[in-house]
Structure 1
Amino acid sequence: MDEVKGSMTRVEAAFSKLAARPPALGGWGLNGVFTRYLDHGSHQVTWLQGALGSATALTDAASDVDDSNMELGLLRMTGPRLQAALFGTLLLATWVDFLHLSDAVLRYCPLCSVEKLFVDLHRVQGLMQPTLTDLASLDPERVEAAATAMPELMGKLTVEFDALHRETRSTMKLGGQVIAAMQAVEMLTLISTMKMSLPRRPPSAPATLGVGLVMSSSGVMVGSRLVVSAEWVEMMRRLVQAGVISVPAVSAAVRIHGGQVLMAQAHQDLPKGVRDALGDSPEVRAMQVTDRAGAGMADAPKHHVLPDEHRAWFEKRGFTGDMNIDQFCVRLEKSHHEAIHGGGDWRLGRTWPGEWNRMIMKVLRDAEAETGQRLTRNEILKLVAGYLKEYDISMNFIPGRRR
């Protein structure tokens, strides 16, 4: 989270500087009709800040829960938000590079076609927008799909950036532009994946993960090998095994930072070096991405752990915002879901004292009656965690919808 927040700060600062730059002598810059492209980036910052704030709030809540399983369940809830923020920030950093290059073109290349540059930026924005929309939804399935497709998208963006850069150089040469103007554009040839590299290596021994980043003379990234710290690999392994970060997301990040050679391999296995470094665990072996139907979950209903019919009761005890009861849903097999509700007929099931909604509300109300005061949110979660284990319900929480 700290890594992403730092990247977000740099991206916001870049947008502010670009917006504050006065037009050049010819009257051109990222103003007028080009302002919409600055606004596009600034608008994305809002949901990114919300995703990071939500992940931070859930992490803080997890640290206060006095039950290790519930703590892990809350941490898993941060996963989609963190992945959305990570890849969203990466796309925005890439967009900043396009804007920097466009600003240089407008200022230093009077022979370059302003109309063509406008259309080029519009096309690049169109490439990014579907992925940004999916990431901004914070829906776990849409975020996962977007993250998995990111290497392929970054490959396309790298090609677009390189083409724009090469065309600008050619036009400048034809127009006999001064060397200083050429250098102004040359300084912007590093695509943002270089700046958004994996965490910097500490002094300890590194782990080599097979491929890496080298910038060719034309500004296109090519692969050689990727080196990250052993600490980073261990952190990823633990987060993957805990279910906080998905293996496809880790794989996508490695491919993106691995450069152009790997960007077209979005739907293939992890490189052997990466797989070996992460460890030979079931989570790593199960890297291949599948949809809900492929995972056998197409008909699996969502179960509100905290009964939806008592929403107001829970809201009075702190279950609002990022911790509202719709965040505490789990997928259950249809038979399991019916069993905990007393069978297929929910009305008849409510006559059974062990029916989930009836049972859990009785437990919570009895606990309040015993203490003579309202339960806190953490006290409720601790009590619920014990009964989730008893009813064999996992704490892999997913967002649900209000019924």
Structure 2
Amino acid sequence: MRPGVGAESVEADAQGALLTRQAVLDAVGEVTLSLDGVEGSLTELANRPPSLGGWGLTGVFARYVEHGSHQVVWLRGALGSATTLVDVAADVGDSSMDLGLLRMTGPKLQAAMFGTLLLATWVDFLQLSDAVLRHCPMCSVEKLFVDLHRVRGLMEPTLKDLASLEPERVEAAATAMPELMGKLTQEFATLQAETRATLKLGEKVIAAAQALEMLTMISTLRMSLPRLPPAAPMTVGMGFVMRAGGVMAGSRIVVSAEWVEMMRRLAQAGVISLPAISAAVRIHGGQVLMAQAHQDLPQGVRDALGDSPEVRGMKVTGRAGAGMSEAPKHHVLPREHREWFEQRGFKGDMDIDQFCVRLERADHEAIHGGGNWKLGRLWPGEWNQRIMTALREAEARTGRMLTPSEILKLVAKNMRDYRVPMNFTPGRGR
């Protein structure tokens, strides 16, 4: 038990960590299910034979299907990485370090959530294009190719930011997503309208038009994307109410009570930011937020997620916003002993460069024994010396190599002693 901490408090911390861990797993499962469906659609499009007229997403259009398949790779990797961190957290046995590891899943989970949504949108464009190629022989193939190229160009910067898994880039991309989805809605509506006009001009049979209409009715864009922006500004998420069956609803926003609770848990634990959750609600609510800045949450969203101090304190803050523009990143697992840690499993998703914390420069120098690091190494209490001594003594007692979870539990104790926050952020590598 930690000094000065009662048994009830320790138990509450452990229970909180357990609930947060389950929320992360639930979110990963939800995104994985969506990604499975999107990947299945891509596979179907790739394997669909050309129509009798020889048209379909083949030839020069095949590159657009491949583009979607390439996105699946990094999305699977992000979800797998998040799952790995959850598994390690479950074995640590220290609630503070447990939550620290779970917060590390945040950028990966956010990137996967919004990346999967964008990929589903891309699949909608591909399915619509496939229908155009098959049922509208008078439509311009060249124009359709250019249209898809333009849409991919709109998505590309956001997809790159999400795929980077860098916390600040992922956060910026997520909070800007409603605006991007609004643009994609306009592109989709324009392509659909032009195709319908061409069908009428060419007096195409009704069956083709019906096929096109049915496709757009089941589209992710139709069901999830914002409507075209109205002439006057509007706000979203006002007047959430609880209905029978445990559903939160309001202003065309419908999300389950379970989803709200999952997001509340992730937000309060610092796993996913409230601005990102707000962006997701705006998108799934089918509306574009026009009247408020990205960092201002609609009152209805605040009410649904719980208007607690944690919610009110959640703002979009980068390093400058947090007053740490010059704050150095401290490796809690000493870089000079990288090989030692790699031999004990700290590779890939668990690389020691993932376990950095931001400290004020004075604090960073203090735990390393002052500004002169060479002299600092002579002090037994210097961070690197203390950590490695504790770990080697633990291995001597057990008579074997420590596991990553055992190492992190010992590191957590020292972080508490030195009052180092367990808010990890990726640092620079070798």
> Is 1:292 aligned with 2:319?
yes
Residues 205-257 of structure 1: CA distance to partner in whole angstroms, max 9, x if unpaired? 3223x432xxxxxxxxxxxxx12222222221111110111111101101111
Q: Where does residue 104 of structure 1 map in the other structure?
A: 131
Q: Give the fraction of aligned pairs with identical amino acids, expressed as a percent.
A: 73
Change (3 A) 1:52 1:23: same
Q: Counterparts of 1:176-195 in structure 2 under 5 Å? A: 176-190=203-217, 191-193=219-221
Q: Where does residue 218 of structure 1 map in the other structure?
A: none
Q: Any idea what SS the aligned residue of 2:197 has? A: helix
> Is 1:232 aligned with 2:259?
yes
> Is 1:85 aligned with 2:112?
yes
Q: Where does residue 345 of structure 1 map in the other structure?
A: 372
Cα deviation for residue 202 of structure 1 reads: 10
Residues 59-111 of structure 1: CA distance to partner in whole angstroms, max 9, x if unpaired? 11111111111111111111111111111110010000000000111111111
Change (3 A) 1:230 1:260: closer
> Does the Cα contact within 8 Å between 1:341 and 1:356 map onto a contact in 2?
yes
Cα deviation for residue 294 of structure 1 reads: 2.1
Q: Distance in 2 between matches of 1:264 and 1:31?
A: 43
2:274 to 244, 247, 272: 247
> Does the Cα contact within 8 Å between 2:88 and 2:404 map onto a contact in 1?
no
What's the TM-score, normalizing by structure 2? 0.86
> Does the Cα contact within 8 Å between 1:149 and 1:266 map onto a contact in 2?
no
Q: Any idea what SS the aligned residue of 1:189 has? A: helix
Q: Where does residue 204 of structure 1 map in the other structure?
A: 245
Q: Distance in 2 between matches of 1:168 and 1:136?
A: 33
Q: Where does residue 357 of structure 1 map in the other structure?
A: 384
The structure 1 segments of at least 4 consecutive aligned residues displaced by more than 4 Å after TM superposition are: 193-197, 263-266
Residues 331-350 of structure 1: CA distance to partner in whole angstroms, max 9, x if unpaired? 11111111111111111211
2:182 to 155, 178, 189: 155
Q: Distance in 1 between matches of 2:216 and 2:293?
A: 24
Q: Where does residue 223 of structure 1 map in the other structure?
A: none
Q: Distance in 2 between matches of 1:100 and 1:356?
A: 57
Q: Where does residue 351 of structure 2 map in the other structure?
A: 324
Residues 174-218 of structure 1: CA distance to partner in whole angstroms, max 9, x if unpaired? 110111100111012244156669xxx99633223x432xxxxxx
Q: Distance in 1 between matches of 2:392 and 2:246?
A: 55
Q: Where does residue 88 of structure 2 map in the other structure?
A: 61
Q: Any idea what SS the aligned residue of 2:322 has? A: coil
1:306 to 333, 338, 343: 333
**Cα RMSD after superposing both structures:** 1.8
Q: Where does residue 8 of structure 2 map in the other structure?
A: none
Q: Counterparts of 1:264-275 in structure 2 under 5 Å? A: 267-275=294-302
- Structure 2 spans left out of the alignment, 5+ residues: 1-27, 226-241
Q: Where does residue 342 of structure 2 map in the other structure?
A: 315
Aligned length: 386
Q: Distance in 1 between matches of 2:292 and 2:37?
A: 29
2:416 to 389, 394, 398: 389
Q: Distance in 1 between matches of 2:290 and 2:102?
A: 30
- Structure 1 spans left out of the alignment, 5+ residues: 213-225
AA matched with 2:394 = A
Q: Where does residue 52 of structure 2 map in the other structure?
A: 25
Cα deviation for residue 285 of structure 1 reads: 1.6
AA matched with 2:149 = H
